[in-house]
Amino acid sequence: MTTWLHEERLNAVRAIIRDRRARRILDLGCGDGDLLLPLALDPGIERIVGVDTDPAALSRLQRRLEEAASENRPEIRLVHGSMTEGGAALAGFDCAILLETIEHIDPGRLSVLERNIFVAMRPATVIITTPNAEYNPLLGVPPHRFRHPGHRFEWDRAKFLKWAEGVAERQRYSMVCRDIAGHHPTLGGPSQMAVFDALPQDAASG
């Protein structure tokens, strides 16, 4: 069972995928498949690759896929691996999604993640969601604590926007940020999302 906030994240990401008419999808940090499984039922999707470092999660996802087998589902491949490695083998996709995953990475590895995704993979669109630390008090998260013990950091909106703008400028993408699951007048939303779209080469060089 997913929480209302997680459902809001999934809905926000699926809306961007539909808007971009993406057909070849990379789910980076796919976990048990909360995003991948609904995408597998979308007739507009042709291919999905799910990547995760947790072999147990991939095994659970494989079982879920077998239980939900459909003749018309897209080509699906599950890969045991890291978002910071092997990007060249995952090039050529329409959209890559990092759904609440970057906060599990050591901040010192974010530059490696950036190169792997935005240079080696270089999908047409990249969608990244991450918690908004400003909203934590409304969720009952004590000060100086993270929402999940596996998180290595949690950013406020200004920090996330600054990082996303830097990535977009360095890697020749346009970028927009938005709140997910509502908008508190001073604290923003519980989660935040950046959507990157690759710039044409002539626009990037001009």
- Give the separation between CA 7 and CA 13, rounded to whole angstroms: 10
What residue numbers bound the domain in which 181 lies?
4-205
Check residue 143 and give its pLDDT: 86
Look up residue 16 and give its two tokens. Answer: 């961007």
Domain count along the chain:
1
CATH number at residue 184: 3.40.50.150
Check residue 202 and give its pLDDT: 56
Instruction: Report the side by side order of strands in the sheet with 95-99.
Output: 75-80, 47-52, 24-28, 95-99, 125-131, 191-198, 173-180
- Give the separation between CA 164 and CA 179, rounded to whole angstroms: 14
The whole-angstrom distance between residue 89's C-alpha and the CA centroid of its chain comes to 18
Check residue 1 and give its pLDDT: 41
pLDDT mean for each 10 residues of the chain (206 residues):
83 97 97 95 94 97 88 91 91 97 95 97 98 93 90 96 98 97 92 97 53
